[in-house]
Amino acid sequence: MSAAVSTLDGADLLDAYQAGQSSVFVSPRGTLLAEGVHSEVNTSGLADLPEQVAAVLGTHPVRTVVGAVPFAPDAPARLVVPRRLRRAPVLGAAPAVPAASAARESLPPIPDPGYIAAVARAVEEIQAGAYTKVVLARALRLAAPGFDPAPVVRALAYGGAGTYTFGIDLGGGRTLLGASPELLVARRGRTVSANPLAGSIPRSTDPAEDARRAAGLLESAKDLHEHTFASEAVAEGLRPYCRNLRVPSEPTLTATPTMWHLGSRITGEIIDPDVSSLALAAALHPTPAVCGTPPAAARRAIAELEPFDRGFFAGMVGWADADGDGEWAVTIRCATAGPEGLDVYAGAGIVAASDPHAELAETTAKLGTMLTALGVFNVA
């Protein structure tokens, strides 16, 4: 297959996506299908990633990298220059694919005594002044013999489960798939945008109750406090690189089929055109929405309280080109599929006022995005 860039219909690109042979990324700007691997970016972590990518892109006709960066800053990323890159406009509707919203509230809180205990301990440490916020995650291992990620990725893209849908080839028969509602950062020409999400509540299938929950989220002192951490951190991270930075004074509601979130759409103008979208993403990652504050203390708490390696969960996923443009979503509402099965992830922000059982219910609702799309599997 020759190295080339072409444009087709978004539905055609989704149909052409094959796990293990290509990667797909669907966003409000359009659909991107990366086929094959011309070269892989070799890096030992986040610190030198923008420079390594710039060096690789300088000589290749596609001039774009696609892939994912893990949560841990010293873990290797999976970014590749594809042999062929195909783009399409914004994806249209697909009436034949059912929306994930039909299964809202179909899952009662999945028992997880270890998670409840971890949240309780985190609340005690926050109240003692060890840190101000930490994001604690859960991971479910699902048995899925013969699982093909492609139909699930298509269902997520068409079903409105998230603004940013992805199926990323991780190599070795592994695929990162999901539908994230959260934009870490995007750059298009001189325009920079970000949309940090923090503060959430599960949705209801009853319209009146759903509206009540949305209104309550906008007035929740606990959730507004949590959101402030994330929004201010992103604004501070972008400020050295942007002029005319516009930060909303109050968050607005962002809806997914399973959750209401508080979000703040932050925009600005890049000062130095040589600062790429990936450099901006590296400066922001990880935000308090997936880590906590202060970051070093939150990372230590995560290492102590979470009984698994996050891998690519709570990292970033997307693309960047040689002109500096690109889109990077926060890798949430996701799963990692491989020969050993499926690992599905979800997290919640813990602050002083957090209730362990409420956080359990919230993470179950967030897990519902992927569990609904995946269908019925046995939870190990």
Question: Residue for token digits 């993470």?
Answer: 363
- 71 alpha carbon, distance to own chain's centre: 11
Other Cβ atoms within 10 Å of 275 Cβ, number? 18
Burial 136-165 (b: 16+ CB within 10 A, else e): bbbbbebebeebebbebbbbbbbbbbbbbb
- How crowded is residue 311: how many other Cβ atoms within 10 Å of its Cβ? 21
Backbone angles phi, psi at 63, to 5 degrees: 60, 30
Give the Cα separation of 253 and 230 in Å (integer): 15
Question: Whole-angstrom distance between the N-terminal and C-terminal Cα of the chain?
Answer: 41
Task: Choose, from 35, 125, 133, 327, the residue flagged as catalytic.
Answer: 133
Verify whether residue 222 is a known catalytic residue.
Answer: no
Amino acid identity at 63? R
The secondary element (H helix, E strand) that includes residue 126 is helix 113-127
* Dihedral of the alpha carbons of 34, 173, 67, 19, in degrees to the nearest 10: 40
366 annotated active-site: no
Other Cβ atoms within 10 Å of 353 Cβ, number: 15
Catalytic choice (182, 306, 327, 359): 182
Of 73, 183, 78, 71, whose CA–CA distance to 136 is shortest? 71
CA separation, residue 64 to residues 1, 92, 169 (Å): 17, 24, 16
Catalytic residues: 133, 182
